[in-house]
Amino acid sequence: MPDLSQARRSVLEGLGSSDGAHGALSLLPPISRLIFRGRISTIGRVAAAFGVEPAMEPCRAAVSGERAALWLGPDEWLLLAREGEAPAIIGRLADALAPLSYSLVDVSHRQVGLKVTGEDAQAILNAGCPLDLDRHAFPIGMCTRTLLQKTEIVLWRVAEAAFQLEVARSFAPYALRFLQQAERDL
Amino acid sequence: MSAPFRLGAGGRIDRSRKLRFWLDRKAYEGVAGDTLASALLANGVHLVGRSFKYHRPRGIMAAGSDEPNALVSVGSGSRFTPNLRATQVELTDGLVAQSQNRWPSLGRDFGALNDVFSPLFPAGFYYKTFMWPKSAWKRIYEPKIRAMAGLGRAPTLPDSDTYTQRYAHCDALIVGAGPAGIAAALAAEAHGARVILCDEQAELGGSLLAETKATIDGKEASAWLSDALSRLSHSPNVRWLSRTTAFGCFPHNMVGLAERLTDHLPSPSEGRPRERLWQVRAKEVVLATGALERPLVFPDNDRPGIMLADAARQYLARYAVKPGTRVVVVTAHDQAYRAATELAEAGVEIAAILDIRQDASGSWAEQARGAGLHILSSTTICATSGRHRVSSVEIAPVGRDGKVGPRSRLACDLVLMCGGFTPAIHLFSQARGKLRFEERLNAFLPDGGAEGVRCAGASRGIFGLDAAIADGVAAGEAAARDAVGGGVEAAHSPVPLPKDLDGRRLDPLPHDRSPHRVKAFVDFQNDVTAKDVKLAVREGFRSIEHIKRYTTTGMATDQGKTSNMNALGIAASALDKPLPDVGLTTFRMPYTPVTFGTFAGVARGELFDPVRVTPTHDWASAHGAVFEDVGQWKRARYFPLKDEDMHRAVARECQAVRQSVGVFDASTLGKIEIVGPDAAEFMNRIYVNPWSRLEPGRCRYGVMLREDGSILDDGVVGRLAADRFHVTTTTGGAAQVLNHMEDFLQTEWSGLDCWLTSTTEQWAVIAVQGPDSRKILERLVDDIDLSAAAMPHMSVREGHVCGVPARVFRVSFTGELGFEINVPADHGRAVWQAVLDAGFSRSLTPYGTEAMHVMRAEKGYIIVGQDTDGTVTADDVGLSWAIGKTKKDFVGKRSLARPALSDPGRKQLVGLVTEDPELVLEEGAQIIAEEPTASHRSAPHKMIGHVTSSYFSATLGRGIALAMVAGGRRRMGETLYVPMPEGSIKAVVTNPVFLDPEGKRLDA
Amino acid sequence: MLLIDCPFCGKRPELEFRYAGEAHIARPADPSGLGDEAWGRFLYGRGNPRGMHAERWRHLNGCGRFFNALRDTTDDRFAATYKIGEERPMVAEPQGARKA
C-alpha cells in the first residue's frame, strides 16, 4: 500500500501565480483551516486553547504568531494555523471546551489562499470586489466574506498594501485568472 | 486636402499634428484635437448621413453627445462600431468612417424615394398598413422595413477588444466638468472629501473650452481651467476621468460610468482594454451635466447646414472652424446673438438674425446690435432650400395677430437655430428626483426628492458663467459636508434666473404653407415631424407615453435629447393642456449608448463563469473523458475507448460495474457537517426521516421537503458520532439546502445547539462500485474492517486510505456492493490513482455520470430535479417509507395532510417499458391513456403524465424509463401511449425498480 | 444596486444579499393543530404593500445572517434593518406624496 499522506496536489498547480505584469499576485502554501461555530460564551476558552482571542467585533481578524482567528459571522470564526496542526488543535479545543457545545470542522482543503500586494492591490481587487477598500473603510485587520466578481471570497487586509484571500477550492482557478486579468487591465 | 474652413489661429487644436482620415473612402485632413465632426466641417463637409425613415440628407447639427443626425460607423472588421456620433469621435490618424443608411452612396440614395412618398408614411404607418395578410409580416414586411429604416450595420465579427470593470467609492461624485462641476470638485476637495470627477469629453472644461473672452477670478477662462485641473490632479483625494460618460443613476447613489480608454488612440496596444465600466457608490452626487440646446421646429429644418447656434459657436471657439460663410440665424433665445456676434468677429457674414420674439433686450442682443448685425424681430422661416446643403431660406414677418406676412428670400450656406436650453436632468430623474416645470425656461428643473443627489449650474437652470461657478461651489461644499460632516448645514439655494439669457420656444414657428405638406422635424433621428405629433393627438392618444410610442418621438438612440421638449410642447398645444399636465416621459439609462462589451467586462471566454472541476479532472481529461456541465461543475459523462460512441461506452461502463467493479468521481456532491448536541433533533425536524435511533457509524437515505410538502433534496447521511452528522446533498442542491437549514436554525429554532459547516470542497469523493469493490478497498485500507459483518450496507467508518485520513462510506447508488471514499481534496488525485492501480488486475473501469444515471434508473432511484419538480411529494415518488411516522412534526409534514397532496389521482413515479425493446423514449415526452387513432391524431388528448428519465439499459437489454403518471401505481401493467411526431409509442407501466428488487446485489 | 445595512457588518452592496420573503411570519408552534385554511394562509398568504414592507434578507456573501428590514417598496429606501428576534421598529410611514 502506498503512503500518500504527503501526496498533495493544489487545484492551482500549473496555473502560475502571476504572469508578471506587476507581480501583485501570489499563492499561499497549504495551511490548517478550521471553522469554529458556537455561542459567544465559549470564546474565552477558545482563546486560551488556540492562543488567539477571536474578535467579537464583526469583520475583524485577531492574529498571534502564525495563528489567526477571522470573524466571519456572529457565531462563526475561521481559525488559521500551520499546515498539519489541525488534528492537534481539534484535540486541544475539545479538552478546553468540554462540556460546552460548539462545532469545529477541519476545512483545510476546502479553500485556497491567495495574496494581492502592492500599491495596485486595491484597484486589482476592485475589478471584482464591490467593497470600499480605502484604508479608512477597510482598515488593516478587517476581514469579511464578500464577492470577487462571480465567486465568494474571504478578504482580509493583512497590511496597508496586502490582502489575503481565501477562495473555495473549485472557484480558485477562476479567482486567480480573474485577478491576473485585472492586473493586466490596470 | 487642406481644410479651407479652418481659421489660421485660435481653438484648442494642435495645427502642427496633421491627421489623415477617410469618410466613405474619401480622404480628408484634420488636426490633433479635432472631433470627426469638427474636422469634416473644417473641410466644408456638412452632409454626413441619411435619415432613418425618409432617407433625407442630414448634416451635423450639434457639437456634443446630443447630436441626432451625424451618426457614423467607425473602424472595420472586429473593431467596427456603428452609430457613433461624429461629434464625439475623436480624430485619430488613419481613422476610417462610413456614413450610414444610404445606398449606393450618400449623394445618390435610392431610399430617398421614401421622402417623395412620405405622405404614405404618417405616424403609426406600420401599425396601420402592414396588418394583413398576417403571414406577410414575418416574411416580407418586417425584413423590408428593417432593411430600409435603420442605422448602421451590426458588426459581424466577434469583438477583438477587451473590456474591464471597476468598483469605486467616493464622498462626492461630480458628473460633468464644466464650470459648475469643476467648481464643485474644487470645493469638495478643499473640504477633505474623496472626489471623483467625470466628463464625457476628451478634455475637461465643458463650456469653458469655448470661452475665449470671459475671465474668472481675474484670470482668462482657459487659465482658470488649467489651474483648477492642476490643483485637482495634484490632490490624492481626487480621481478625474475624462472620456467618461455617467450613463445611469441607480438606487442608493450607485452611478454607472463608461470610460473610453483606447478609441482615441491611433493604434490601441493589444491587450489593453478598450473601455472600463465604473460602478461608483457615492455618498453624495453632484450633477453638473449642463443643458442641451433646443432646435426650432420650422419647415425643412433638417437640411445639412442647419445647426444649433451655440454648437456653431463651439466649433468656432474650440476647433477654429467656420461652419459656413453666410449665415442666417433664427432664434427664440438670446444665446444665438452671442453665436452670431462671435462668428461675425471671425469674419463670417451674418445675413440676418431672425428673432421670432417681438424684441430681444439682453446684453448679447445689445452687443449684436452694436456690432451692426442685421436683426429682424418677429420674423419666421417659411421654407429652406438646397439639396445636400442649405442654400437659401424664405423668411417672413409675423404680425402681432400671428399672421405671416409676405416672404423674402435670403441666400446662405448655414442656418443657426436656437429655441432655448433644456437642463440635462436625465440622471437626476433616474435617481427619482422630483421635477418642476419652469415657465420662464420652458423646461423641467430638479426639485429635490433625490436623497444625496443635487444638481448644479445649467442642469438646474442656472445659466451664465459666474452664476454657474458660484452654484458649483455651493453644491460641492454642501455635498462634501453631507458626506464627511463638519461645518454648518450648507445652503445650496436657488439663484435667480439670469436676465441675459432669456427666451424660449417649443411650438413650431409659424409659416404660410399647408400644415399637411411641410415637414418640420421634431425628432431628427427618428424622423418625427410636428405633423406626426399632432396626428397622434387627433387620433386619440392622450398620454405623452403613448404619443411617444405611437410616433416614436424620443425613442431613437439619442433618446430625444434635442426633441423631447419640443414634442411635449406640440403635444400640449394639440391637447390644449398646460405643459406640466401632459407630463414627461421617463428618462432611462443609458444617457448615451454604451457598448455591450462595457457591460460584459471580462466575462467572456474562460472568465464568463467559474468552471468548477474536481480533483480528478486532469486525469479524466487526459483519459479522453467527455464532460457535461452540472451547474458550474464539469463532470465526466463517459470515458470512450478509441472509436466508441456514448451508447457503447456507457454500456461497457455499466457492465463493468454490474459484473466486476467501476470507479466514479462523486466529489461534486454537496456536503454539510452538522455538529452539536442537538444535531439529531435538528435532523428530525429538517428531514422526513427519523434520526434519533440511527447509531453512530450508520447511514440513512434522507429526504427533505419544503414547507409546502414538495421534495427539496435528498442524499445519504452518515452519523459519525452522537453529535456529528456528515450530510450529503445533490450536486445542484448544495447551496440551497445549506441556506434552507441555516434559515430554520437562525430564525425558527435558534435555541438548538448545533451548527452547520459546508464541507463540499473539503472532500474528494471516490465511489468504488461493483461486486469486486471490497477486494480493491482492502488493498488500500488497513485500519477499517471492511467485511460485510463489520461494515454492513449503509455504514460509515473513519480511518485511513493509503495513509490519508478518510471517511469511508458503504453506500450504493448503483444497486451493487459499493463504497465511497472521502479524502481531503488535495489528496484526491493521488488516492484516485491508488484506486486505479489497486484495481488494475480486476479491470477496474472508470465510469461517468451517464452510466451512473443508467444504473440508478435500473434501480428506480430518483434524481431530485429530474424525476421531481416543485410539485412532487415523497409519496408521489414512492418514498413514504422514509417518513418517520411517529414524528410529531417536520418541515413539510403538515402540508402532506392537505387533501390535494394525498389525492390518489396525483402523478406517481412508475416504470415504463416500451413494446419495442430497442426504443428509448424521449425525456419530457407526454403520456396519454388512449391510443390515438388516425382520425383524431390532432385532437386534444388528456395528458396523464410525462417521462422523467429514459435510457437504454445494456444490463436489461432494453429501453427503460421512469415517468410520473396520474394514479400511476394503480396502473401497473396498463398500456399507455407516448405521442411523438412519427406516431405514438406503446409503453407498459411497471414497477420503477427494474433490476434486483430484493436488493440482493448490495451484499453480493 | 441597493446599499443594505446589515445589522452585523454595516452597509454592504446588494450583491452580497439574498432576499428571503416577508418578515414576521412565524412558523406555527404546532402545525398539526392547524386547519387546512389556516395552514394555507401561513404557507401562501403574503402582503404586497405599496409602502413600508417588513422583509427578510440574508447577508449570504457576508456574515451569513438572516435579518429583517423595513423597506419602502415605492422607492427602495430602507427605513431600518434589525436582527431576527427584535421587534419591528416604529418608523414614520412614507409620506402621502410617495403613496400617490
Cα–chain center distance at B345: 49
One domain, residues A23 and A115? yes
Cβ pair B893:C31 closer than 8 A = yes
Cβ pair B748:C43 closer than 8 A = no
Of B665, B654, B701, give the one whose Cα is nearest residue B995: B654
One domain, residues A47 and A19? no
Q: What is the pLDDT of residue B52?
A: 86
| Mean pLDDT for the stretch of residues B32-54 | 95
Q: What is the pLDDT of residue C96?
A: 45
Shortest CA distance from C2: residue in chain A: A130
Kindly tell me if the per-residue pLDDT of B147 is higher than 90.
Answer: no
CATH class of B514-576: mainly alpha
If pLDDT is split at 50, 70 and 90, which confidence band does B508 have? very high
C55 has which bridge partners?
C22, C69
Identify the CATH number of the domain defined by range B1-160: 3.10.20.440
Q: What is the pLDDT of residue C97?
A: 38
The DSSP result for B471-506, as a single string, is: HHHHHHHHHHHHHH--SSPPP----PPPSSS-B---
CA distance B738 to chain A (A): 15
CATH class of B643-668+762-791+802-858: alpha beta
Number of domains in chain A: 2
| Mean pLDDT for the stretch of residues B304-328 | 97
Q: Which CATH number is correct for B308-419, 3.30.1780.10, 3.50.50.60, 3.40.50.720, 3.30.390.50?
A: 3.50.50.60
CATH number at residue A150: 3.30.1360.120
CATH number at residue A38: 3.30.70.1520
Cβ pair A109:B753 closer than 8 A = no
| Mean pLDDT for the stretch of residues B375-389 | 95
Cβ pair B673:A103 closer than 8 A = yes
Kindly tell me if the per-residue pLDDT of B146 is higher than 80.
Answer: no
Kindly tell me if the per-residue pLDDT of C98 is higher than 50.
Answer: no
Q: What is the pLDDT of residue A21?
A: 56
One domain, residues A114 and A181? yes
Q: Where are the domains of chain C?
A: 1-23+50-88
pLDDT one-digit tens code per residue, B155-201? 899 999 999 999 999 999 999 999 999 999 999 999 999 999 999 99
Identify the CATH number of the domain defined by range C1-23+50-88: 3.30.2270.10
One domain, residues A77 and A124? no
One domain, residues A95 and A115? no
Kindly tell me if the per-residue pLDDT of B110 is higher than 80.
Answer: no
One domain, residues A136 and A157? yes
The superfamily (CATH) of domain B902-1002 is Aminomethyltransferase beta-barrel domains (2.40.30.110)
Backbone angles phi, psi at C60, to 5 degrees: -60, -55
Is the separation of the CB atoms in C6 and C63 below 8 Å? yes
Q: What is the pLDDT of residue B937?
A: 58
Cell numbers that stand for B654 in this block: 455499466
Is the separation of the CB atoms in B239 and B168 below 8 Å? yes
The DSSP result for A75-86, as a single string, is: TEEEEEE-TT-H
Cell numbers that stand for B102 in this block: 444610404
Least confident among A158-167, B153-162, B256-265, B929-938: B929-938
| Mean pLDDT for the stretch of residues B599-628 | 96
**B824 contact residues in A (CB cutoff 8 A):** 108-109
Q: Where are the domains of chain B?
A: 1-160, 164-291+423-484, 308-419, 514-576, 643-668+762-791+802-858, 670-759, 902-1002
Q: What percent of chain B has pLDDT over 70?
A: 95
Cβ pair A58:C12 closer than 8 A = no
Q: What is the pLDDT of residue B112?
A: 74
Q: What is the pLDDT of residue B15?
A: 96
Between CA B584 and CA B34 the distance in angstroms is 36
Cβ pair B746:C27 closer than 8 A = no
- Do domains B164-291+423-484 and B308-419 share one topology? The answer is yes
Kindly tell me if the per-residue pLDDT of A18 is higher than 80.
Answer: no
Burial class (CB in 10 A: 0-12, 13-18, 19+), C29: exposed
Is the separation of the CB atoms in B352 and B374 below 8 Å? yes
Is the separation of the CB atoms in B752 and B676 below 8 Å? yes
Q: What is the pLDDT of residue C100?
A: 33
CA distance C51 to chain B (A): 16
Kindly tell me if the per-residue pLDDT of B251 is higher than 90.
Answer: yes
Between CA A14 and CA A109 the distance in angstroms is 18
Q: What is the pLDDT of residue B491?
A: 58
Chains that touch C (3 or more CB pairs under 8 A): A, B
Q: What percent of chain B has pLDDT over 90?
A: 85
CA distance C6 to chain A (A): 11
Cα angle for residues B982, B984, B988 (degrees, 5° grid): 140
Cβ pair C3:B889 closer than 8 A = no
Cβ pair A147:C64 closer than 8 A = no
Of B806 and B841, the one with more pLDDT: B806
Between CA B422 and CA B563 the distance in angstroms is 10
If pLDDT is split at 50, 70 and 90, which confidence band does C99 have? very low
In a domain, A52, yes or no: yes
- Whether cis (ω within 30° of 0) applies to the bond prior to A99 is yes
Q: Tell me the pairing of strands B943-953 and B926-928.
A: antiparallel
Q: What is the pLDDT of residue B487?
A: 62
Which residues of C, range 2-61, sit inside 8 Å of A by Cβ?
8-10, 12-13, 15-16, 61
Kindly tell me if the per-residue pLDDT of B114 is higher than 90.
Answer: no
CA distance C50 to chain B (A): 16
Between CA B820 and CA B624 the distance in angstroms is 23
**C61 contact residues in A (CB cutoff 8 A):** 145-147, 152
Is the separation of the CB atoms in B907 and B892 below 8 Å? no
| Mean pLDDT for the stretch of residues B530-549 | 94
| Mean pLDDT for the stretch of residues C20-25 | 96
Least confident among B822-826, B840-844, B947-951: B840-844
Q: What is the pLDDT of residue B131?
A: 62
**B273 contact residues in A (CB cutoff 8 A):** 185
Cβ pair C3:B432 closer than 8 A = no
Between CA A16 and CA A7 the distance in angstroms is 20
Of C1, C20, C64, Cβ closest to residue B254: C1
Q: What is the pLDDT of residue B970?
A: 95
Q: Tell me the pairing of strands B326-331 and B349-355.
A: parallel
One domain, residues A37 and A25? no
The DSSP result for B446-475, as a single string, is: E-S-STTEEE-GGGGT--SHHHHHHHHHHH
Which of A107, A137, A158 delimits the end of a domain?
A107
C19 has which bridge partners?
C57
Shortest CA distance from A59: residue in chain C: C9
Identify the CATH number of the domain defined by range B164-291+423-484: 3.50.50.60
ipTM of the complex in this document: 0.97
Cell numbers that stand for B123 in this block: 405616424
pLDDT one-digit tens code per residue, A95-109? 999 999 999 999 999
Identify the CATH number of the domain defined by range B670-759: 3.30.70.1400
Q: Which residues contact B627 (CB under 8 A, 6 or more apart)?
A: B620, B621, B634, B635, B636, B637
